[in-house]
Amino acid sequence: MTGLMRSWIESANAPDTDFPLNNLPYGVIDVNGSAHCATAIGDQVLDLHALESGGWLDFGGALQTGAMNTFMALGPDAWEKLRVTLFGLLAEGAQARSGLEKHLSPLKDAKMRMPFAVTEYTDFYASKQHATNVGTMFRGAENALPPNWLHIPIGYNGRASSVVVSGTPVVRPSGQLKGPDDDAPRFGPSRRFDIELEMGAIVGRPSNGPIGVGEAFENIFGYVLLNDWSARDIQAWEYQPLGPFQAKATATTISPWIVTAAALEPFRTSTPPREVPLLPYLHEPGPMLYDIDLEVGLTPDGGSETILSRTNYREMYYSAAQQLAHHTSSGCPMRVGDLLGSGTISGEAKDSRGSLLELSWGGKEPVEVDGGTRSFVEDGDTLTLRGHAAGDGYRIGFGECRAQVLPART
Amino acid sequence: MTGLMRSWIESANAPDTDFPLNNLPYGVIDVNGSAHCATAIGDQVLDLHALESGGWLDFGGALQTGAMNTFMALGPDAWEKLRVTLFGLLAEGAQARSGLEKHLSPLKDAKMRMPFAVTEYTDFYASKQHATNVGTMFRGAENALPPNWLHIPIGYNGRASSVVVSGTPVVRPSGQLKGPDDDAPRFGPSRRFDIELEMGAIVGRPSNGPIGVGEAFENIFGYVLLNDWSARDIQAWEYQPLGPFQAKATATTISPWIVTAAALEPFRTSTPPREVPLLPYLHEPGPMLYDIDLEVGLTPDGGSETILSRTNYREMYYSAAQQLAHHTSSGCPMRVGDLLGSGTISGEAKDSRGSLLELSWGGKEPVEVDGGTRSFVEDGDTLTLRGHAAGDGYRIGFGECRAQVLPART
């Protein structure tokens, strides 16, 4: 495993920064009302739009677009070229320091926009412990895991228009609700509004037919943290027979920085042993999961934060590469900017579960937070996801994926 | 009901043309490799791109874009203005004839492209007879209709990248298949590849929060025919618990001309009586369905066509406006270019069923076609959807929605 790459920006050399020179994640910042592609380095943001317009970089204008899609579409050679160029500009001892300083600004003041335009959004269901927990609650322990689960990276199409960047408030949804003893449904605010701690993989290279797992891995540009907000009561009534729809369409919050597959390369790890053999089209030619520590915290309005759960991305049974390969198996075309949610990530320990549904076991065991307890999310609560891969003396972090829940519309 | 509006283009006055002056559908044609917005009139195509660049029309360049999205985004005043302007240019006795003739070309030679960029695609399940047929086959007659069906316009998110224009060949998909007696799934070509006869509604005005049914109706720009290709065997194994995924991701074929809500206005009709009361957010303020005759034909490779089914769009239990209102109920943002499939349209008679699954009753009663029988679609078959609303001495037609099935990739 490589060590810290030192930068002339001193804050990037701190062992606890999310953004050492090794990381160089991509995001979009607001500069006087216009959207600029940028990278984070230590406690600073570097304006890549300004760097390209100033002649420091040349990607045919792809960094002067207000979203990372155009740059991603340039392909892996461009991805590598930008990363190497930025290493050269930002490494300790680089000559460029004086010219670059005017394009730096404090990260804490940055107003982040969506880092890319989400072309389509797919959400998977690939943590075995999560599927087992949810299945046990809904169908009993003996039928917990659906019969197809160990064979297929189960997924469904989500709603790209609902994906928002960290910091965007989320309004509690209303919808059709029907309890098991109710004669008919009623329409009202969800009472079981929940989080789902996930990772999102971003497709950076298009495909137009079935692709293998190895090619799928190469086509993923990078990753974000992802909170798939879920109205459990709307879902329970609507989801048979065609799956979740309005329960999942209110909002999906992503972290503002795309951490590249290149930055995560030293943290590759294997999916767990297969319990039944996978069909050949899902075989991984190498380790394609990542060792990324994850946590989710809940902060009541005016209160202090409680960490609800700590888990790790390596808990997934299927990697994003396997999910993407399966996604193309019927010939489904994939495009630059497609976002693939991993599915809720839950470990075996109770405090490593990735949703309140699981943490409170359907509301039967409320969890303690500052000033009270929670079965599900309450109005005013702020939910924050964090994640990082831990290297030797440095870490590759994702920043925060955060949103406050506002009361339902009246 | 209005009668035929006569045009100086004689073929537009024939009672059996799909494209009288009353219609004026919008599509995109290929002109020497570049995409031009256009309308169909009788047996001719009128190049709207050329008309705008030539100063006959002025929509700020919206018709010079290669897709109808930019024009749709201008909103209802622009929609009305273009329609009225074209009436003025094309009506019998109009002065413009000599100037316009050079922008006309034969419809039969037109190479049609996608009429708009599909932003996101949602597919519903809103024909009661279809849901009853499918439910009877899968769960028995007593549990045919899911408990939520009479309360919710059930839908799921589909895959926009898979939507293709009429004429595009469709490759038989492969996927995971597992019969009820198989120990494990295998990967191979679908053996139960099917059609679904649907209408597609196109969102022309965005919304960013819940909207009522009346507003939803106003936000729909127009309609297309839609064939939602479905691999029944892939679907049977994958769809629990999160709904159809790869079974529906191979292709969705749409007709090349968007027939506007304005053209269909004389053919508005009401949804059938409610069997249980709907919640108020789904109440229709007026008739929001349309009386549109539909048919689907199957032509074996080298053979002649058999009409498999004749039905009507008024068979829907829910209108597109109700579907769109429900779609926004959780706060889901809708954007210009969103496509909403109605769901398979089946009537009560056997020969009015909208899928081979229903027509052949799951393969138990194969249907006769030229030179043989069909339980599902075979390689080389061409499937053609047609539709029109029948007026007094004229009709508003959709043209053809057609595709040939090619063998699976090897």
The pLDDT value recorded for residue A185 is 98
User: Is B260 annotated among the ligand-binding residues?
Assistant: no
Structure tokens at B132: 């009853």
How far apart (Å, rounded) are the C-alpha atoms in residues B363 and B361? 5
DSSP string, B31-47: ETTEEEEEEEETTEEEE
Question: In this complex, do B243 and A156 lie within 8 Å of one another by their Cβ atoms?
Answer: yes
pLDDT at A40: 98
- The pLDDT assigned to A138 comes to 83
What are residue B124's DSSP bridge partners?
Answer: B155
Do B213 and B285 meet the contact criterion of CB atoms below 8 Å apart? yes
Tell me if residue A106 falls in helix, strand or coil.
strand
* Angstroms from B283 CA to nearest CA on chain A: 13
Q: Indicate if the pLDDT at residue B1 is higher than 60.
A: no
State the pLDDT confidence band at A371, using cuts at 50, 70 and 90: very high
Question: Quick one: pLDDT at residue B98?
Answer: 87
Structural contact between residues B203 and B160, judged by C-beta atoms closer than 8 angstroms = no
Q: Residue A171 is nearest to which of B239, B242, B331, comparing CB atoms?
A: B331
Question: If you search the block for the tokens 């070509």, which residue do you land on?
Answer: B189
Please give the DSSP secondary-structure letter assigned to residue A332.
-
Would you say residue A304 has pLDDT above 80? yes
* pLDDT confidence bin for A97, thresholds 50/70/90: confident
Q: Do B332 and A231 touch (CB under 8 A)?
A: no
**B188, β-bridge pairs:** B175
Residue A218 predicted with pLDDT over 70: yes
Nearest CA-CA partner of A288 in A311, A310, A317, A327 = A317
Do A231 and B326 lie within an 8 Å CB cutoff?
A: no
pLDDT of A374 reads 98
- CA-CA distance, B81 to A93, in Å (whole number)? 63
Largest CA distance in chain A: 74
Instruction: Check whether B83 is labelled as a binding-site residue.
Output: no
Please report which confidence band the pLDDT of residue B279 belongs to, taking 50, 70 and 90 as the band edges: very high
* DSSP for residue A109: G
Residue A1 has pLDDT above 60, yes or no: no
Residue in the structure block whose two tokens are 């004669």: A183
B77 exposed, middle or buried (CB, 10 Å; 0-12, 13-18, 19+)? exposed
Instruction: Say if residue A93 is exposed, middle or buried (CB neighbours under 10 Å; 0-12, 13-18, 19+).
Output: exposed
Strand segments, DSSP code E, in B178-267 are: 186-189, 193-194, 197-203, 220-228, 230-231, 252-254, 259-260
What does the pLDDT read at residue A2?
77
Contact B238, A243 (CB under 8 A): no
Q: Average of pLDDT values for B322-344? A: 98
Distance (Å, whole) CA A116 – CA A202: 9
All domains of chain A in start order, with CATH: 10-113 (2.30.30.230), 121-406 (3.90.850.10)
Task: Write the CB contacts of A4 (distance below 8 Å, at least 6 apart in sequence).
Answer: A13, A15, A20, A21, A22, A391, A392, A393, A394
Angle of CA points A79, A84, A85, to nearest 5°: 100
Question: Residues near A111 by Cβ (< 8 Å), separated by ≥ 6?
Answer: A29, A30
Q: How far is CA A265 from the centre of its chain?
A: 17
CA dihedral B366, B369, B371, B374 (to 10 degrees): -30
Could you tell me which residues are beta bridge partners of residue A231?
A193
* Residues from chain B contacting residue A156 (CB–CB below 8 Å): 156-157, 242-243, 245
**Does the CA dihedral A365-A310-A247-B240 come out positive or negative?**
negative
Q: Which of B247, B261, B263, B400 is nearest to B340 (CA)?
A: B261
Above pLDDT 90, what percent of chain A?
Answer: 97
| B44 band by pLDDT with thresholds 50, 70 and 90 | very high
- Residue A188: C-alpha distances to residues A159, A219, A235, B148, B330 (Å): 21, 42, 13, 16, 10
Tell me which residue has tokens 């489904």: A332
- What's the rounded mean pLDDT across residues B235-239? 95
Beta-bridge partners for A307:
A297
DSSP secondary structure letters along B258-306: BEEHHHHGGGEEPPPPPSSPPPGGG--SS--EE--EEEEEEE-TTS--E
Predicted local distance difference test score (pLDDT) of residue B220: 98
Helix (H) or strand (E) holding B131: helix B128-139
pLDDT of residue B96: 82
Query: Could you give the CA distance from residue A148 to residue A142 in angstroms, rounded to a whole number?
Result: 15
Contact A237 B281 (CB under 8 A): no
Task: Give the whole-angstrom CA distance, residue B380 versus residue B129.
Answer: 29
- A157 has pLDDT over 60: yes
Is residue A70 predicted with pLDDT exceeding 70? yes
| Pair B234, B195: CB distance under 8 Å | no
pLDDT at res. B135: 92
pLDDT, residue B139, reads 85
Q: Look up residue A328 and give its two tokens.
A: 């193309």
Residue A81 gets which letter from DSSP?
H
Would you say residue B405 has pLDDT above 80?
yes
Taking one residue from A and the other from B, the number of pairs with CB-CB distance under 8 angstroms is 180
The answer on pLDDT for B189 being more than 80 is: yes
B241 cis-preceded (ω within 30 degrees of 0): yes
Q: Is B47 annotated as a binding residue?
A: no
pLDDT tens for each residue of B56-77: 999 999 999 999 999 999 999 9
How far is B47 from B35, CA to CA, in rounded Å?
A: 10
3-state secondary structure (DSSP) of residue A239: coil
Is B283 one of the annotated active-site residues of the chain?
no
Q: Output the pLDDT for position A174.
A: 98
**The two three-digit tokens of residue A63, written as one number:** 């960094």
Residue A404: Cβ-neighbour burial (10 angstroms; 0-12, 13-18, 19+): middle
Please give the pLDDT value at position B97.
87
Residues of B in contact with A331 (CB under 8 A): 162, 171, 173, 249-251, 409
Q: Per the annotation, does B317 bind a ligand?
A: no
Active-site pick, B130, B326, B327, B388: B130
- The predicted-structure confidence for B84-143, as pLDDT tens digits, reads as follows 999 999 999 998 888 999 999 999 999 999 999 999 999 999 999 999 999 999 889 998
Nearest by CB to A125, which of B242, B327, B329? Answer: B242
pLDDT tens-digit series, residues A378-404: 999 999 999 999 999 999 999 999 999
Helix (H) or strand (E) holding B385: strand B382-390
Encoding tokens for residue A401? 């994926």
Average pLDDT, chain A: 97
Residue A410 binned pLDDT confidence (cut-offs 50, 70, 90):
confident
pLDDT classification of A96: cutoffs 50, 70, 90? confident
User: Stretch B293-320: mean pLDDT, rounded?
Assistant: 98
Q: What angle do CA A343, A348, A352 make, to 5 degrees?
A: 65
- Write out chain A residues lying below 8 Å of B210, CB-based: 174, 409
